[in-house]
Protein backbone atom coordinates (compact mmCIF):
# COMPACT_ATOMS: atom_id res chain seq x y z
CA UNK A 1 0.00 0.00 0.00
CA UNK A 2 1.35 3.43 -0.93
CA UNK A 3 0.48 6.42 1.22
CA UNK A 4 1.07 10.13 0.78
CA UNK A 5 1.98 12.78 3.28
CA UNK A 6 0.91 16.25 2.25
CA UNK A 7 0.08 19.62 3.70
CA UNK A 8 -0.97 23.02 2.46
CA UNK A 9 1.06 26.20 2.60
CA UNK A 10 0.70 29.71 1.27
CA UNK A 11 3.22 31.27 -1.08
CA UNK A 12 3.63 35.06 -1.08
CA UNK A 13 5.58 37.26 -3.48
CA UNK A 14 6.46 39.94 -0.94
CA UNK A 15 6.09 40.99 2.66
CA UNK A 16 3.29 43.50 1.95
CA UNK A 17 0.97 40.57 1.24
CA UNK A 18 1.28 39.39 4.87
CA UNK A 19 -0.84 40.43 7.83
CA UNK A 20 0.73 43.15 10.01
CA UNK A 21 1.91 40.91 12.86
CA UNK A 22 3.78 38.64 10.44
CA UNK A 23 5.35 41.64 8.69
CA UNK A 24 6.68 42.82 12.06
CA UNK A 25 7.89 39.31 12.89
CA UNK A 26 9.76 39.01 9.60
CA UNK A 27 11.41 42.39 10.19
CA UNK A 28 12.67 41.06 13.54
CA UNK A 29 14.00 37.89 11.88
CA UNK A 30 15.86 40.03 9.32
CA UNK A 31 17.38 42.04 12.18
CA UNK A 32 18.42 38.79 13.84
CA UNK A 33 20.35 37.80 10.71
CA UNK A 34 22.69 40.68 11.56
CA UNK A 35 23.31 39.18 15.00
CA UNK A 36 24.52 35.90 13.54
CA UNK A 37 28.03 34.61 14.19
CA UNK A 38 28.87 32.55 11.12
CA UNK A 39 32.57 33.03 10.30
CA UNK A 40 32.96 29.47 8.98
CA UNK A 41 29.91 28.83 6.81
CA UNK A 42 29.22 32.49 5.95
CA UNK A 43 25.55 31.45 6.12
CA UNK A 44 23.75 33.82 8.50
CA UNK A 45 20.31 32.82 9.78
CA UNK A 46 17.84 34.86 11.80
CA UNK A 47 14.70 33.67 13.54
CA UNK A 48 12.05 35.53 15.49
CA UNK A 49 9.20 34.19 17.60
CA UNK A 50 5.87 35.95 18.19
CA UNK A 51 4.60 35.09 21.65
CA UNK A 52 1.05 35.12 23.01
CA UNK A 53 1.83 38.22 25.09
CA UNK A 54 2.88 40.14 21.94
CA UNK A 55 6.60 39.95 22.68
CA UNK A 56 9.03 39.06 19.91
CA UNK A 57 12.09 36.98 20.76
CA UNK A 58 15.00 36.87 18.30
CA UNK A 59 17.62 34.22 17.68
CA UNK A 60 20.56 33.91 15.32
CA UNK A 61 22.88 31.07 14.44
CA UNK A 62 26.06 30.91 16.51
CA UNK A 63 28.87 28.85 15.02
CA UNK A 64 31.88 27.44 16.80
CA UNK A 65 35.29 26.29 15.55
CA UNK A 66 34.55 23.00 17.29
CA UNK A 67 31.92 22.05 14.73
CA UNK A 68 29.17 20.91 15.19
CA UNK A 69 29.06 22.72 18.53
CA UNK A 70 27.18 25.68 17.05
CA UNK A 71 23.49 26.29 17.52
CA UNK A 72 20.88 27.22 14.94
CA UNK A 73 18.88 30.44 15.02
CA UNK A 74 15.61 28.63 15.61
CA UNK A 75 16.89 26.83 18.71
CA UNK A 76 18.50 30.02 20.05
CA UNK A 77 15.10 31.73 19.81
CA UNK A 78 13.23 28.76 21.29
CA UNK A 79 15.68 28.53 24.22
CA UNK A 80 15.53 32.27 24.90
CA UNK A 81 11.74 32.23 24.78
CA UNK A 82 11.36 29.33 27.20
CA UNK A 83 13.91 30.91 29.55
CA UNK A 84 12.53 34.45 29.58
CA UNK A 85 8.81 33.83 28.91
CA UNK A 86 8.21 30.22 30.05
CA UNK A 87 4.42 30.59 30.35
CA UNK A 88 3.85 32.21 26.96
CA UNK A 89 2.77 30.27 23.91
CA UNK A 90 4.59 30.70 20.62
CA UNK A 91 2.17 31.93 17.97
CA UNK A 92 4.58 32.02 15.02
CA UNK A 93 8.23 31.83 13.99
CA UNK A 94 9.80 33.70 11.05
CA UNK A 95 13.09 32.47 9.59
CA UNK A 96 15.32 34.11 6.99
CA UNK A 97 18.97 34.16 6.01
CA UNK A 98 21.85 35.82 4.19
CA UNK A 99 24.52 33.81 2.40
CA UNK A 100 27.76 35.82 2.25
CA UNK A 101 29.08 33.45 -0.40
CA UNK A 102 26.24 34.18 -2.83
CA UNK A 103 26.96 36.68 -5.55
CA UNK A 104 23.39 37.94 -5.69
CA UNK A 105 20.38 38.02 -3.40
CA UNK A 106 18.96 34.52 -3.17
CA UNK A 107 15.43 33.65 -4.22
CA UNK A 108 15.68 30.23 -2.56
CA UNK A 109 13.59 29.63 0.55
CA UNK A 110 15.32 27.40 3.10
CA UNK A 111 13.63 25.52 5.91
CA UNK A 112 14.86 24.44 9.35
CA UNK A 113 17.30 21.55 9.77
CA UNK A 114 16.14 18.27 11.28
CA UNK A 115 17.12 19.15 14.86
CA UNK A 116 15.26 22.45 14.62
CA UNK A 117 12.21 20.74 13.15
CA UNK A 118 12.23 18.33 16.10
CA UNK A 119 12.64 21.25 18.53
CA UNK A 120 9.71 23.11 16.95
CA UNK A 121 7.60 19.96 17.18
CA UNK A 122 8.51 19.62 20.87
CA UNK A 123 7.47 23.24 21.48
CA UNK A 124 4.20 22.63 19.63
CA UNK A 125 3.50 19.50 21.67
CA UNK A 126 4.45 21.20 24.94
CA UNK A 127 2.13 24.15 24.43
CA UNK A 128 -0.58 21.97 22.84
CA UNK A 129 -1.21 24.43 20.04
CA UNK A 130 0.25 24.92 16.56
CA UNK A 131 3.10 27.29 15.73
CA UNK A 132 2.84 29.09 12.39
CA UNK A 133 6.07 29.06 10.34
CA UNK A 134 7.07 31.87 7.99
CA UNK A 135 10.05 31.08 5.76
CA UNK A 136 11.58 33.92 3.75
CA UNK A 137 14.18 34.18 1.03
CA UNK A 138 16.51 37.20 1.03
CA UNK A 139 14.80 38.40 -2.19
CA UNK A 140 11.39 38.48 -0.47
CA UNK A 141 9.67 35.25 -1.53
CA UNK A 142 7.71 33.78 1.40
CA UNK A 143 6.10 30.51 2.49
CA UNK A 144 3.63 30.36 5.38
CA UNK A 145 2.77 27.06 7.07
CA UNK A 146 -0.03 26.98 9.61
CA UNK A 147 1.64 24.34 11.78
CA UNK A 148 5.32 23.61 12.44
CA UNK A 149 4.38 19.93 12.78
CA UNK A 150 3.97 19.84 8.98
CA UNK A 151 7.75 20.17 8.68
CA UNK A 152 8.28 16.77 10.30
CA UNK A 153 5.80 14.14 9.12
CA UNK A 154 5.92 10.76 10.87
CA UNK A 155 7.67 12.47 13.76
CA UNK A 156 9.01 10.87 16.93
CA UNK A 157 7.60 12.64 19.99
CA UNK A 158 7.13 12.31 23.73
CA UNK A 159 4.00 10.22 23.12
CA UNK A 160 6.25 7.56 21.54
CA UNK A 161 8.28 7.09 24.74
Count of C-beta atoms within a 10 Å radius of residue 2? 3
Main-chain dihedrals φ then ψ at residue 21, nearest 5 degrees = -65, -35
pLDDT digits (tens, 9 = 90+) for 84-141: 999 999 999 999 999 999 877 778 999 999 999 999 999 999 999 999 999 999 999 9
CATH class, 10-151 region = alpha beta
d(CA 23, CA 20): 5
Catalogue the active-site residues: 74
Per-residue confidence (pLDDT) for residue 65, from 0 to 100: 93
In this prediction, residue 68 has a pLDDT band, given cuts at 50, 70 and 90, of confident
- Cβ–Cβ < 8 Å for 62, 71: yes
**How confident is the model at residue 102, as a pLDDT?**
86
Q: What is the pLDDT of residue 105?
A: 75
Smallest CA-to-CA distance from 50 within 137, 123, 125 is with: 123
Mean pLDDT across the chain, nearest whole number? Answer: 95
Amino acid sequence: MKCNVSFEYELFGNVQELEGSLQKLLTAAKEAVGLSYAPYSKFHVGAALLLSNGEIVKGSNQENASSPAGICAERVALSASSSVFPQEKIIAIAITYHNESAEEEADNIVSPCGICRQSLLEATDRQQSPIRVLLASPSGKLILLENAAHLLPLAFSASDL
